[in-house]
Amino acid sequence: MDEKKLIKKALEAKENAYVPYSNFHVGAAILTEDGKVYTGCNIEIASYSPTICAERTAVFKAISEGSKKVKTIAIAGESEFTYPCGVCRQVLREFGQDVKIIIVNSEDDYREHTLEELLPYSFGPKDLKKTESGEGNV
């Protein structure tokens, strides 16, 4: 799966966004380290707080299907370049410290970042290693 294909998948996933309140469509596509692809869109709920971003939909689908690590994520939103929110950055951090993040404007116009760039000095599983319950990823 090359980057172009992942970008296309993110743009396709955006079409499924359920956004009756914001009308802000977002799609995401993830390539996991075991070579699988998962997509997600944002889903809004009338009482607002249960709303979930496209990125987290895709990550949770991947993890719940048995994949362990995110390698690359492509994100296509409604603004020219839609960057992941802070919560999604933290969720990505949990499942891959070296995630490549592709912010998509169109199939031919996109930017690449590392998670380290978007979430420097992150708090993560490593910080909990010394405690009894610190059994997450590194």
Tell me the catalytic residues. 55
Regarding 105 and contact with ligand THU (CB under 6 A), the answer is no
Shortest Cβ 50–ligand THU spacing (Å): 11
Please name which of 1, 36, 10, 23 lies closest in space to residue 101, comparing C-alpha atoms: 10
Told to check if 24 binds ligand THU by CB under 6 A, we report: yes
- Residue 102 phi/psi, 5-degree rounding, is -110, 120
Residues near 77 by beta carbon (within 8 Å), at least 6 away in sequence:
14, 24, 25, 26, 27, 54
Q: How many residues bind ligand THU (CB under 6 A)?
A: 15
54 contacts ligand THU (rule: CB under 6 A)? yes
**How many angstroms separate the CA atoms of 84 and 114, rounded?**
12
- Report, in Å, the least distance between residue 26 CB and ligand THU: 3
d(CA 26, CA 39): 11
Per rule CB under 6 A, is residue 84 in the interface with ligand THU? Answer: yes
> For residue 74, what is the DSSP state?
E
Tell which one of 22, 106, 114, 137 touches ligand THU (CB under 6 A). 22
> For residue 70, what are the β-bridge partners?
32
- Binding of ligand THU by 44 (CB under 6 A): yes
Instruction: Tell me if 42 contacts ligand THU by CB under 6 A.
Output: yes
Binding site for ligand THU (CB under 6 A): 19, 22, 24, 26, 42, 44, 51, 53-55, 77, 82, 84-85, 88
